[in-house]
Chains A and B, each alone.
Chain A
Amino acid sequence: MEPIIRTENLKFSYKNQEDGRTYEVLKGIDMEVRKGEFLCVLGHNGSGKSTLAKHFNSILVPTEGKVFVGDMDTSDEDKLFDIRQRVGMVFQNPDNQIVATIVEEDIAFAPENLGLPREEIISRVDFALKTVNMEAYRNHAPHKLSGGQKQRVAIAGVLAMMPEVIVLDEPTAMLDPVGRKEIMNTIKTLNREKGMTVVLITHYMDEAAEADRILVMDKGKIKMEGTPKEVFSKVDEVKAIGLDVPQATALAFELNKNGFNLPLDILNTEDCVSNIIKELEND
């Protein structure tokens, strides 16, 4: 698949004002985001994953190396608007991303700033609200919505820019289980039905299990790469990086230590159940 974002030996460091020392956060990253894929970036706090994500739409530019969106170099200031329009970002806290007092006005904020004609703005707002399944709330006040609903409004605000890639940095960290499910369903709709490229940064392994591909970051480098099955089947390696595996995988791993012979690429409940049954029947 054709890459839509590509990094070449991306390095990023910053100087701490207080101790005058330079800290290297990204230590030479070569990766790509492929058109139409659902990519998940995992890594513990401080591994550099958010810093990497901020390079995808020029919020940060590399200290060394290059980042390209299509054929545009993200350090080229003349391309900033084009890049931001192609790659949209959603952050952890929905309260920090909502600017207007009415849902539809909030979603119209970006297209208005793009100077689009009125009809176009309306059709984009309609499209965005429909995609995140929030049409019924179009005239509501955002602060009265639940966390999951607010975060869907924030996503709609990004969709109204019609980006090709949507990057979500821990969008479910502050949500309850229902809110998390709402956001995951929205992400899957965007990717599977609308064909949008999605990059999801998360700490939740069950969310990562739904992706097409996972990158695992550790200490500013990419440590592992592969499909969820490939990555999570390396239980020891994943745990050594300070991450976790889904409980279904952990259960299979522990049962195998005690004489079971289950495949280690079990990620979801159904696979786990059917494989355990197979094993028990063979007894």
Chain B
Amino acid sequence: MIKLENVTYTYSEGGPFQMTAVDNVNLTINKDELVGLIGHTGSGKSTLIQMMNGLIKPTSGRVFVDGKELHNKKTKMSDIRFKVGLVMQYPEYQLFEETVYKDIAFGPINMDLPDFEIKRRVEFACDAVGLERELLDKSPFDLSGGQKRRAAIAGVIAMQPEVLILDEPTAGLDPSGRDEILYRIRDMHRRAGMAVVLVSHSMEDIANMADRIVVMNKGKVALDGKPAEIFGRREELESFGLSVPQVTSITHKLREKGYELPKGIHTVSEAVYEILKLKKGAGDNV
């Protein structure tokens, strides 16, 4: 769906503050994937996702969306933007219309869709993020923090992109607000078959959500694999300034003490399942 080929991005190239944020990255995001993108601040993840929908142009290398090359005269940029929806950090700061409806409709209106289709999409997006339809007539500024965040995400979903990229969608939300948004994202991913790229600093969120994890460090893809593989490499993650979920540390310590547990356990339910097996196993040995 999205393919990056030898992509490099350098800020202020040739100037005294030249800095390479993304360094020769090759990465493919497939349809039907939910990819977690992690890396400490300054590792290049935000620059990387901005290149995925053509918001910025790589200094060198090529980006393809659905087989079409970006920054090529034959490719219409607006088509790419409709295909790859990008939800930035704190998207609620970008709400600007008089009503929630108009705000969510902004994208579809710019796609020149007929009115009935715009309405259908606004309602679809509203349901998809779990926003009550009664709120559509309100001013976005009257919503609570969590509702604003969801309204802003709905504005991107209303364009029905094939890939949805979210930069820290749960930052600043409380646990139930966080769970609600993550549940909605996963639901959309499963039901609408939308590919999702989720950028997060929360290892717990990534562990609970992603099928695949891409770890960025110093502008390069440092690790790429399934959650169990990635979280099984605790020392490496820590050397990149990242961490593992607490349950991974717990099971890792148990492994060190000689208990037979699989490497890279990363959810509470998985840990419960595996530890229960140990208890039974210990019983059998006696």
* Residue among A46, A174, A243, A244 making CB contact with B171, cutoff 8 Å: A174
Per-position contact with A for B213-245: 1 when CB-CB < 8 Å, else 0? 000000000000000000000000000011101
The 3 closest A-B CB pairs, nearest first, are: A242-B176, A44-B174, A247-B246
CB-defined contacts of B269 to chain A, threshold 8 Å: 254
CB-defined contacts of B96 to chain A, threshold 8 Å: none
Closest to B245 in A: A247
A-B contact pairs, 8 of them (CB 8 A): A18-B139, A45-B177, A92-B172, A205-B175, A243-B175, A248-B246, A259-B279, A273-B254
CB-defined contacts of A170 to chain B, threshold 8 Å: 172
Instruction: Give complex CA distance A173, B202 in Å.
Output: 10
User: Is the Cβ of A243 less than 8 Å from the Cβ of B41?
Assistant: no
User: Is the Cβ of A255 less than 8 Å from the Cβ of B272?
Assistant: yes
* Shortest distance from the beta carbon of A149 to any chain B beta carbon, whole Å: 10
Instruction: Give complex CA distance A246, B241 in Å.
Output: 21
* Shortest distance from the beta carbon of B168 to any chain A beta carbon, whole Å: 8
Instruction: Give complex CA distance A206, B175 in Å.
Output: 12
Closest to A177 in B: B243
User: Is the Cβ of A16 less than 8 Å from the Cβ of B142?
Assistant: yes
* Shortest distance from the beta carbon of B147 to any chain A beta carbon, whole Å: 9
User: Is the Cβ of A269 less than 8 Å from the Cβ of B40?
Assistant: no
Instruction: Give complex CA distance A263, B110 in Å.
Output: 58
Main secondary structure of the interface of B (DSSP, over half): helix
Segment of A1-9, A57-65, A275-283 engaged in the interface with chain B: A275-283
User: Is the Cβ of A243 less than 8 Å from the Cβ of B40?
Assistant: no
* Residue among B176, B242, B245, B272 making CB contact with A243, cutoff 8 Å: B176
User: Is the Cβ of A147 less than 8 Å from the Cβ of B176?
Assistant: no
Write the residues of chain A forming the contact surface with B, with a CB cutoff of 8 angstroms: 16, 18-19, 43-47, 92, 146-148, 170, 173-180, 203, 205-206, 242-244, 246-248, 250-251, 254-255, 258-260, 269-270, 272-273, 276-277, 279-280, 283
CB-defined contacts of A279 to chain B, threshold 8 Å: 279
CB-defined contacts of B257 to chain A, threshold 8 Å: 273, 277
Q: How many residue-residue contacts, CB under 8 A, span A and B?
A: 114
Q: A242-B175, A251-B247 are in contact. Are A18 and B40 (CB under 8 A)?
A: no
* Shortest distance from the beta carbon of B176 to any chain A beta carbon, whole Å: 4
Write the residues of chain B forming the contact surface with A, with a CB cutoff of 8 angstroms: 40-42, 139, 142, 144-146, 171-178, 201, 203-204, 241-243, 245-247, 249-250, 253-254, 257, 259, 268-269, 271-272, 275-276, 278-279, 282-283, 286
User: Is the Cβ of B174 less than 8 Å from the Cβ of A254?
Assistant: no
Closest to A178 in B: B241
* Shortest distance from the beta carbon of B279 to any chain A beta carbon, whole Å: 6
CB-defined contacts of B146 to chain A, threshold 8 Å: 45-46
CB-defined contacts of B242 to chain A, threshold 8 Å: 176-178
* Shortest distance from the beta carbon of A54 to any chain B beta carbon, whole Å: 16
* Shortest distance from the beta carbon of A21 to any chain B beta carbon, whole Å: 11
User: Is the Cβ of A177 less than 8 Å from the Cβ of B201?
Assistant: yes
* Residue among A46, A244, A270 making CB contact with B144, cutoff 8 Å: A46
Q: A178-B40, A276-B254, A277-B254 are in contact. Are A243 and B249 (CB under 8 A)?
A: no
CB-defined contacts of A92 to chain B, threshold 8 Å: 172
Q: A45-B173, A269-B246 are in contact. Are A176 and B286 (CB under 8 A)?
A: no
CB-defined contacts of B204 to chain A, threshold 8 Å: 247
CB-defined contacts of A246 to chain B, threshold 8 Å: 246
Closest to A173 in B: B172
CB-defined contacts of A258 to chain B, threshold 8 Å: 272, 276
User: Is the Cβ of B283 less than 8 Å from the Cβ of A254?
Assistant: no
Q: A177-B40, A248-B246 are in contact. Are A44 and B275 (CB under 8 A)?
A: no
